[in-house]
Amino acid sequence: MDTLKRRLLDFVIYFALWLLLTWSLDWQGVVVGAILAVLFALALSGLLPKGAERLFSPVRWFWAIMHLLSLLFWIIVANFDVLYRVLHPNLPIRPGIVKIKTTLKSDEAKAFLANSITLTPGTLTIDIIDDWLYIHWINVHESLEDAEAITRDIAGRFEVTLRRVFD
């Protein structure tokens, strides 16, 4: 029974993906999509990670949208910060590599955090080792010993929403 439930969930996900990609509800496209979704669900059962049913939680979608809006805001803010540093006559930068500790548990959440940090101008995630992220930062203004302050400045704004999406 568990395998049938899993394959049905896989079918729903594959069929929804087909509908999103084709963006058409004509009967031929729906039939082809349903047939392909059945074939994929039978052939690739178990390919999707466990807990994929969480994809259908409206609360998680809400927080994912909130994360995207927050990310967009911080990308704009960071763009102006980098623009200021580039146009300033003294070029006020102090680049360095900092180490921050994340409280996120899943690998997916850590990957999204690393990508969110990298998408923000002035920061680049270099590596993730366990709960530690190594980040190249354009302007290290905190003491390198104060990992909590650095974590708040770089990752704190993203961890709040990502925790609600993934954990």
Of 11, 31, 55, the last residue of a domain is 55
Burial class of 77 by CB neighbour count within 10 A (0 to 12, 13 to 18, 19+): middle
What interhelical angle do 58-87 and 157-166 show, nearest 10? 160
pLDDT of residue 142: 64
pLDDT of residue 37: 92
Question: Cα–Cα distance between 19 and 34 in angstroms, integer?
Answer: 10
pLDDT of residue 48: 61
Question: Cα–Cα distance between 11 and 36 in angstroms, integer?
Answer: 9
Q: Which of the 8 DSSP states describes residue 56?
A: G
* Shared domain check, 149 and 68: yes
Per-residue pLDDT tens digits for 69-110: 999 999 999 999 999 998 988 888 889 888 889 999 888 899
- Mean pLDDT by runs of 10 across the 167 residues of the chain is 78 90 90 93 73 73 92 94 90 87 89 93 92 90 72 86 87
Question: Cα–Cα distance between 64 and 60 in angstroms, integer?
Answer: 6
Residue numbers of the domain that contains 85: 57-166
* Shared domain check, 144 and 130: yes
* Shared domain check, 136 and 61: yes
Of 33, 55, 77, the last residue of a domain is 55
pLDDT of residue 72: 96
Is the distance from CB of 109 to CB of 63 less than 8 angstroms? no
pLDDT of residue 51: 64
Cα torsion 30, 32, 34, 37 to 10°: value is: -130
Question: Cα–Cα distance between 81 and 109 in angstroms, integer?
Answer: 26
Number of domains forming the structure of the chain: 2
